[in-house]
Amino acid sequence: MGDMIFGILTWLPGLILAITLHEAAHGYVASALGDQTARLLGRVTLNPIRHVDPFGTLVLPGLLFLVGAPFLFGWAKPVPVDYRNLRHPKRDMAWVALAGPGMNIFLAVVSAAALHGALLLPDPAADWLITTLQKSVLINCVLAVFNMIPVPPLDGGRVLVGILPMRAAVVVARMERVGMLALIGVIFLLPLALSQFGVDFDPFSRIIGPVVRALLGAVYTTAGIPLF
């Protein structure tokens, strides 16, 4: 029981901040580029409570943790953006999309840098804080990489729409409604189904995993944390 409580208390802070501040960053950049939709709804704020989705931010990650899932997955309430209010709608939507993963990379570097101070604390506070910060780095790197997959409605898909010529951008944008379902199917459900027949198919570990590890290395190096 003690290990479970320790696990929850070390995973939850980084997960909530990573997911909610990701959305806050979208709102801040959209506001700066001309769309005040999120600001009028009170979503241009660093207060995590304004961005928490009860199921996606708390219940689902909690259930995955309790069943011992190999990954934690969740989401916050999406920040509404009306591209028609942006000064340069096509280009600016790409910047709005980049803000979320950019925030996650920033949080990862800050968490890694904070390890310098955590190492100076006495036990058991040091143990809790070091573990929490390490998990925060991991969570933010995974979210940054996952969200940059170039499939709408993920941020990478919206960046792709912003940089492609108009005709190609329209084709990619039409994937918005089915893109997330397709990703969940390919990355999570299909491997689970194939494993029942003894087929090892894990695109998350084989494709996304190496990119996450590379980003982790870059984050720790930037923060001045030696890698062993």
Q: Is the Cβ–Cβ distance between 155 and 100 less than 8 Å? A: yes
Q: CA-based Rg of the chain, rounded to a whole angstrom?
A: 19
Identified catalytic residue from 13, 17, 23, 216: 23
143-176: pLDDT as tens digits: 999 999 999 889 999 999 999 999 999 998 888 8
pLDDT value of position 70 = 58
Task: Identify whether 23 is a catalytic site residue.
Answer: yes
Residue 158 CA to its chain's centroid (Å) = 15
In the block, tokens 């397709």 appear at 182
Beta-carbon-side half-sphere exposure of residue 32 (alpha carbons within 13 Å): 11
Q: Is the Cβ–Cβ distance between 72 and 59 less than 8 Å? A: no
pLDDT value of position 207 = 85
Residue numbers in the chain where pLDDT is lower than 70 = 1-2, 68-74, 228
Q: What is the mean pLDDT of the chain?
A: 88
183-199: pLDDT as tens digits: 878 877 788 788 888 88
Helices 125-147 and 89-118, packing angle to 10 deg: 160
pLDDT value of position 192 = 78
pTM for the structure as a whole: 0.88
pLDDT value of position 196 = 86
